[in-house]
A and B are shown apart, each in its own frame.
Chain A
Amino acid sequence: MTIARTAKPLGPATASRQEGVVRPIISAVPASAPPPRVAPLAPVTPMRPGAAPRVPPSARPARFKLRHKRLVLSFLGMVVAPVVATALYLTIFATAQYASYMAFTVRSEGHAAASAELMGGFGALLGGSPSGNDGEILQNYILSQEMVAKVSARMDLPTLFSVNETWDPVFSYHPGNGTIEAMTAYWKRMVHISHDSKSGIIELEITAFSPEAAQEIAKVVHEESTAMINNLSATAREDSLRYAAADLDRALDQVKSAREAITEFRMKHQIVDVAADVQGQYGIINGLQQQLATALVEYDLLRGSTTATDPRLPQVELRIQAIRDRIADERQKVGYSDGEGSYATIASEYERLTVEREFAEALYVAAMSQHEMALTEAKRQTRYLATHIQPTLAQSSEYPRNGFILASVLLFSFLIWSVMGLIYYAVRDRN
């Protein structure tokens, strides 16, 4: 830039004096050309014809200078060499890679989308939680070390990925020490996953060095993903069912123990139904009281019709006494006094046990319905993998994408070279 600027004012001046001689050179006066001092000297020359010209040599045609050489060399080294090397590598060494595609969504029977629907529009834009949470889980899982370990357990990944290790070191896997970390890093190069959080579709592209291998890996990945999703929903179902089942078991135990307590009570007191038993007792007392009344009437009649020494009187008195004693005895039994075997205590005990049993039975019924509800809920929340594109079998190689790689190398090496060259020249322009 500075070159052109210093040269320009010089151009027309000299050109007018030295007709056409310098012209072709002017536009390329090098930076080290003598400054405008040439101008005063120039008119002197034509005055002394024949004499050796004392003019400083006019600007030589622009030559290749060291820095130009450096520029070209750096261009060759930083742009041409990488592009040529890439092109050569891609055409000679790189082996074809084949891709297998598949796509699926994670579905559940439930209405999980309802909450997302509620806050659509701006609400979703502001604080919308990403739906398709399961998709994210699956996406994470497919790229994880665990997936690599599971696929490795079923097929020989290191061998599949290092078929061309000697010829194609850039694109193939180096078993080397064969750590799972290295395999996972390489796995991420060969497995490309895209997850659309709106529709929940997960698209998977798996590359390998043969179409069959790619498809096989894709199938295994699909199976393992299905297993993982099933596992996930089984865990969820177990979680929700476990509490319901535990409640049901406890209720059942209570019912059992309540019934056992009642049976034990019946065995102990030899009573099946306390109410009926009490009624029977009252029947006896009633009967006795009737007999007592009859005896009393008989006694009154006898006393009125006979003398005091009649031997029948003490007999009737004895009978009345016996009936009274019996009534007192029976009454005591039913519970008009306190005591161990009294009917009142037995009845209250029986009532307590009955209430306990009824409560346990009600609890059991509730637990049963709870369990049933949990079962249907779990069934509704079951997730499954809905595959709409099964792993495809490639017919032609799509990778490595030669054109794209070459274009990127060309673009970036040229950009880096030009930026570095521009900065170098800008810094060099000092003084």
Chain B
Amino acid sequence: MSETNPPVPLGRIAAPSLKPARFPAFRSIGALVLREMSATYGRNPGGYVWAIVEPIGSIIMLSIGFALFMRAPPLGSNFVLFFATGFLPFTLYTSVTTKVQLALRYTKPLLTYPKVVWIDAILARLGLAILTEMTVMTIVITSILMVVKEQFLIDYVPIMQGLSILVIGAAGLGMINGLIAAVFPLWPTLWGILNRPIFLASGVVFLYDSMPVEAQAIMWWNPILQAVALVRSGFYSSYHADFVSLTYCYALGMIVLAVGLLVMRKWHKIALER
């Protein structure tokens, strides 16, 4: 559509200095990221730092709680590290899903500007969520490793594989959920109920390997569990997540992402009109 612009002389005469932005996508995404950061914890003292402090606090509390009634972690000797390596990937999934799900609703007023499109809103929130979660993960795990003073043979390849599976799938799921929520406002509540057991079923506290065989047969199909196990196998060199199928995880994640993008492209107007 940009080819319709040149015949209009007004633009060129009235504002000769106003050239079209060179990378409009990056500018609008960047602006949306900044807006998001100032909106999330903007009014509190400390600002966006709370987005990082809050999950760190919750992981400490949860691991203390679980450490009280479990004698020893199923892997390694440090409970906090065992819990962190499972809980952090899981929060990456939940946080990306919810952030992307609410992207359109939060940026609805800005989407009326022609320079801002729906994908900007999604990419901005997705990128910010990934950055935040990765920062949290780095801080938590680095400080645990420094406190524990144990040697760990960390293999980054499975960690990155697991995290990328989670991000891809969560982004697609967030888009699909966002659209369904726009049509059926009750959907987020229902989804929350359906998703309640997923924390226990994702291998955060209970390893897949120690589940009963009957449970394993069902749980195997849970890609979050496989991704979490993959991340763990990167931290614990003695833990081989043999059961993980990268093909299955990536295929499922990519399919969800493609479907999410497709339905967004087709129906994002519906979500905006409501």
Chain A residues near B (Cβ < 8 Å): 1, 5, 31-32, 124-130, 136, 139-140, 193-195, 197-198, 408, 411-412, 415-416, 418-419, 422-423, 425-427, 429-431
Contacts and interface: CB of A to CB of B under 8 A. Distances in A.
Given A422-B258, A430-B114, A412 B266 contact: no
Interface stretch (B68-76, B86-94, B143-151, B220-228): B68-76
Contact of A128 (B2, B25, B210): B210
Given A415-B255, A422-B265, A429 B117 contact: yes
Contact of A195 (B25, B242, B257, B262): B242
A426 B118 contact: yes
A48 B10 CA distance: 33
A426 B209 contact: no
A192 to B, nearest CB: 9
B247 interface: yes
Contact of A130 (B73, B206, B210, B257): B210
A419 B257 CA distance: 7
A31 B2 CA distance: 11
B238 interface: yes
Contacts of B211: 125
A138 B4 CA distance: 70
A412 B250 contact: yes
Contacts of B183: none
Decide if the interface of chain A is mainly helix, strand, loop or mixed.
helix
B3 interface: yes
Given A429-B117, A430-B25, A130 B209 contact: yes
B266 A1 contact: yes
Given A125-B211, A412-B251, A427-B120, 20 more contacts: A31-B1, A126-B70, A127-B70, A127-B71, A127-B74, A129-B72, A130-B74, A197-B209, A415-B254, A418-B258, A419-B261, A422-B258, A425-B265, A426-B264, A426-B265, A429-B119, A430-B25, A430-B114, A430-B117, A431-B115
B3 A32 contact: yes
Interface in B221-269: 238, 240, 242, 247, 250-251, 254-255, 257-258, 261-262, 264-266, 269
Contact of B117 (A5, A128, A197, A427): A427
User: How many B residues touch the partner, as a band?
Assistant: 35 or more
Contacts of A423: 119, 261
A415 B213 contact: no
Contacts of A194: 242
Contacts of A415: 251, 254-255, 257-258
B24 interface: yes
Contacts of B73: 127
A431 B242 CA distance: 49
A419 B258 contact: yes
Nearest to B25: A427
Nearest to B205: A126
B262 A422 contact: yes
Contacts of B258: 415, 418-419, 422
Contacts of B114: 430-431
A422 B115 CA distance: 18
Nearest to A31: B1
Interface of B: 1-4, 24-25, 69-74, 114-115, 117-120, 206, 209-211, 213, 238, 240, 242, 247, 250-251, 254-255, 257-258, 261-262, 264-266, 269
B269 A5 contact: yes
Contacts of A419: 254, 257-258, 261
Contacts of A427: 25, 117, 119-120
Contacts of B206: 125-126
A187 B49 CA distance: 47
In order of increasing CB-CB distance, the 8 nearest A-B pairs are A426-B119, A415-B254, A422-B261, A127-B71, A431-B114, A418-B258, A427-B25, A127-B72
A349 to B, nearest CB: 58
Contacts of A136: 238
A140 B240 CA distance: 9
A125 B250 contact: no
B72 A32 contact: no
10 contacts: A5-B269, A32-B1, A127-B74, A130-B74, A415-B251, A422-B258, A425-B265, A427-B119, A430-B117, A431-B2
Contacts of B261: 418-419, 422-423, 426
B4 to A, nearest CB: 7
Nearest to A198: B213
Contact of B24 (A32, A127, A430): A430
B70 A1 contact: no
Contacts of B265: 1, 422, 425-426
A262 B240 CA distance: 65
Nearest to B172: A419
A347 B114 CA distance: 118
Given A31-B1, A127-B74, A426-B117, A416 B269 contact: no
B255 to A, nearest CB: 6
B1 to A, nearest CB: 5
A136 B209 CA distance: 13
A70 to B, nearest CB: 16
Contacts of B251: 408, 411-412, 415
Contacts of A139: 240
Nearest to A416: B254
B266 to A, nearest CB: 6
Contacts of A126: 69-71, 206
Nearest to B254: A415
Nearest to B122: A426
A198 B250 CA distance: 28
Contacts of A124: 210
Nearest to B212: A125
Nearest to A4: B266
